[in-house]
Chains A and B, each alone.
Chain A
C-alpha cells in the first residue's frame, strides 16, 4: 500500500489532475442515464429557458434540458471517439507491423496508399467521403478510423522496422514461425510502449475531429446529444451574451487538456527525465 502511495506522489500534479478528470468523464459517461435529470432527446419545456429552477443550465433550441444533454454527450461523443481510436489503432498498428515484417511489394503498396491518404488534410477527405457515403454513425466511424489509422500505421511501421532487424526475429523466422506468430509474439511486445503513448495523442485528435465534423453538421446527427452539434444548434444564444452554447466546447477542451497532461507525463517518462 505504501509503495503505491509513494508512486502516486511521484506523478506530477498536472498528470494526477488529468487522471482525475478522465475518471470523472468516464463515470459520467457510464452512468449518464442515472445522473441526467431528463431524457436525452426529451422535449421538456419551451425553447431557450434561462438557467435555474428545474433546468440547471436552461433548455436548448427545441426545449430539451441542456444539462441532461451535456451528460449524455459525454457518453456519445467520448464513446464514439474511443471506438474510432481503438479501431484505427488495431487496423493501423497491425497493418504497420505486418508491413514491416512482410516487407517487399506489400510494404511498398501500403506505404504508397498511406502517402496518398496523408497527402491532403484529413478534413477534406472526410468531407468528400461523408458526402459520398452519407452521414450515418457507422459511416462516420469507418471514415474517421480509416483516415486516422494512416498516422498509426506510419508510427507502428517505423518502430517495428527497428525490431524486425533484431536477432530474435531472425531466429523466429529461421525456426519457421508464421507471419502472424512473428507479429504477435516477437514484434508486438516491443512496439507496444510507444504505441500506447500515441494512443492518447490520437484520441485527442479524433475527439476534436469528430466534434468539428459534428459542429459542421456532418458528424453525429440529431437527436443524438453530441457536444459539437450542441454548440452549433444553440449558437444564436451567443448574440445575447449567453455563455450556454460554449459549455459543450468547454467540456471538449477540458477532457482534451486532461488527456494531453497524461500523455505529456507518459512521454516524458518514456524518454527518460524531463525533456
Chain B
C-alpha cells in the first residue's frame, strides 16, 4: 500500500492529489469489471446449446411459434446488437419482459428490490457494530477464556448452513414461543415498525451467519495491528489502554475493518437469497430462484445483473473508503 502511495505522491507537480488519483483509478477498474460481468451474463446465455426459442417451447414448438418467439425476443438480430439494446435498456430502466408471460420486468422488480435492500440493511445495522465490537474485545483479551469461547462459538456459526439457522429460529421463536411470525410477509403500505417486527427473524438469521466471519476477521486485523512497534511504544510509555485503542490503533485499523465489512457483503448477498426463500419474503432473491427453476432467462439475467452490480459497487465503495480513511494517505509528506 505504501509503495503505491509513494508512487502517487511522486506526481506532486500536478494539481491532482494522490488520493484523487487512487480513487479515480479504483473507480475505473470497478466500471471495467462491471462491464465485463455484464458481457458474461449476457453472452453466457448464447452458450445455450441449440436454438433458445425452440428449447423454451420444447415439444409444443411449431416452426411458426418458434419464429414468432424469436422475433418477439429479438433473437433474429445479431448478438452484439442485442447486447447493446439490453445494456441500453438496463441503463434507461427498461428491463424487458419475462419469458413466461407478457410481464414487464421493471414492474415486478421495484418493490422486490426495495424489500431485499431493506432486509440486507436491517441485518447489516445489527451485524456490523456487533461483530466489530466483539472482534475488538476478543483481540484485547487474546487467549483468555472469553476469547476461546468466542472462537469456538463463531467457528460453529460459520459451519451452520443458513437455512438450518433460519429453521431453528423459526422452530424456537415462531412455533414454540409464538413471539414472531414464521413467514415474513410484507406489503408496500405496511407501517415501518410492523415491518421491522415481521422481518426480525430473517434479519437475525443473516446477522448470525455474517457476524462470525466479520468478528474473526476484525479480531485478526486488530491483533495484527497491536503487535506493531508503535503500539508497543505507546504501551511502554504507559498510555492508558483505551487511549491506545482509540487514538493510536483505531485510525490505522479503520481500513482493514472496512475491508472486513466489504467481504461480508458477499455473505450477506448470498445469505439474502437463501433467507428470503426460507421466510417466503417477497424479495429479489426469491424472484431469482423462482426464475431459475422456471428457466426464465430474461429475469435471471436482470436479477443477477442487479446482484452483481450491487456487489461490485459496494466493494468499490469499501475500497474507496479504505483508501480515504488511510491516515498515511491523508497526510502526504
Contacts and interface: CB of A to CB of B under 8 A. Distances in A.
A116 B41 CA distance: 11
Interface stretch (B125-133, B187-195, B300-308): B300-308
Interface stretch (A2-10, A24-32, A169-177, A215-223): A215-223
A241 interface: yes
Contact of B171 (A232, A243, A253): A243
Contacts of A217: 289, 293
A238 B170 contact: yes
Interface in B151-210: 152, 155-156, 158-164, 167-168, 170-171, 175-176, 182
A215 B44 contact: no
Contacts of B274: 212, 215-216
A272 to B, nearest CB: 15
Interface in A241-275: 241, 243, 245-246, 249-250, 252-253, 256-257, 260-261, 264, 274
A83 interface: no
B8 interface: no
Contacts of B300: 127-128, 131
Contact of B155 (A121, A211, A260): A260
B270 interface: yes
- Residue among B40, B161, B301 with max Cβ neighbours from chain A (10 Å): B161
Contact of B175 (A127, A128, A204, A238): A238
B41 A121 contact: no
A223 to B, nearest CB: 17
Interface string A109-140: 00000011001111111011111110000000
A57 interface: no
B292 A204 contact: no
Interface string A184-224: 00000000000000000000100010011001111000000
Size bracket, chain A contacts: 35 or more
Contacts of A253: 156, 159-161, 164
Interface string B33-64: 10011001100110110000000000000000
Size bracket, chain B contacts: 35 or more
A121 B266 contact: yes
Chain B contact residues: helix, strand, loop or mixed: helix
Contacts of B301: 128
Given A204-B159, A216-B277, A261-B155, A250 B164 contact: yes
B292 A218 contact: yes
B308 A120 contact: yes
Interface in B274-325: 274, 277-278, 288-289, 291-293, 295, 297, 300-301, 304, 307-308, 311-312
B65 interface: no
Contacts of A204: 159
A144 B278 CA distance: 22
B163 A128 contact: no
A62 interface: no
B297 A131 contact: yes
Interface string A6-20: 000000001000000
12 contacts: A121-B311, A122-B270, A123-B273, A127-B300, A128-B41, A218-B293, A238-B167, A240-B175, A249-B160, A252-B164, A253-B164, A257-B156
Given A123-B269, A131-B295, 17 more contacts: A116-B37, A119-B311, A120-B311, A121-B307, A123-B273, A124-B269, A127-B304, A128-B44, A132-B44, A132-B47, A212-B163, A212-B274, A216-B274, A217-B289, A245-B167, A246-B167, A246-B171
Interface of B: 33, 36-37, 40-41, 44-45, 47-48, 143, 152, 155-156, 158-164, 167-168, 170-171, 175-176, 182, 266, 269-270, 273-274, 277-278, 288-289, 291-293, 295, 297, 300-301, 304, 307-308, 311-312
